[in-house]
Amino acid sequence: MSGRILITQGTRPFAQRVGKLLQVQYEVLFGAADEIPQVLLRTGNYMQFPQVNAAAFEHVMLRTCLDGGVDVLIPLGEQEIRALARTQQLFAEYGIAVWVPDAGHLDELGMMRNPGRHYPLLVLDRGTAVVGEQPPTLTHTMSGVFARLDSAHELAWCCIAD
């Protein structure tokens, strides 16, 4: 295994789908700001954290990752992605990768909220496909969960509408 990944919005079907794609290579943990049933929390595979609009959200997420031995954080909530894209450097200083598009590119890229199962997913780490077929031309900074649009070469970052 390549380490521990924490996927946010973990009680949602899309997060479970992403986790299933990564479970061969990583130990997958799920987290959510929504209420998580105690039976799931007791498994050790789920973590509770505050809403994205909570004070110091980014720092609480950093502490959650540090306490849980997380190597990679994949936020899936739209507002989580936007908030954490601005703090990637902070996480990197503690050895935690945040797989999201760069904050400066979020509005330039296409976005797909709540992608259906018929869209094949691509999980990228700095331009390299971790899951899915490697696209021919990508910047080395693209990270996160993406889906191919109708054009085979155009990608949209995926999120859960929150």
| pLDDT (tens digit per residue) in 58-117 | 999 999 999 999 999 999 999 999 999 999 999 999 999 999 998 888 888 889 999 999
What's the structural domain count of the chain?
A: 1
Q: Residue 60: count other Cβ atoms within 10 Å of its Cβ.
A: 13
Whether 64 and 6 have beta carbons less than 8 Å apart is answered as yes
Token digits of residue 62: 């950093």
| pTM for the whole structure | 0.94
Q: Domain containing 91: what range?
A: 4-159
Residue 31 is part of a domain; what is its CATH number? Answer: 3.40.50.20
User: Across the strands, what pairs with 156?
Assistant: 110, 147
Query: pLDDT tens across 3-48, in order?
Result: 999 999 999 999 999 999 999 999 999 999 999 999 999 999 999 9
Kindly give the residue spans of alpha helices, DSSP state H, lying in the chain: 13-22, 38-41, 57-67, 78-85, 88-93
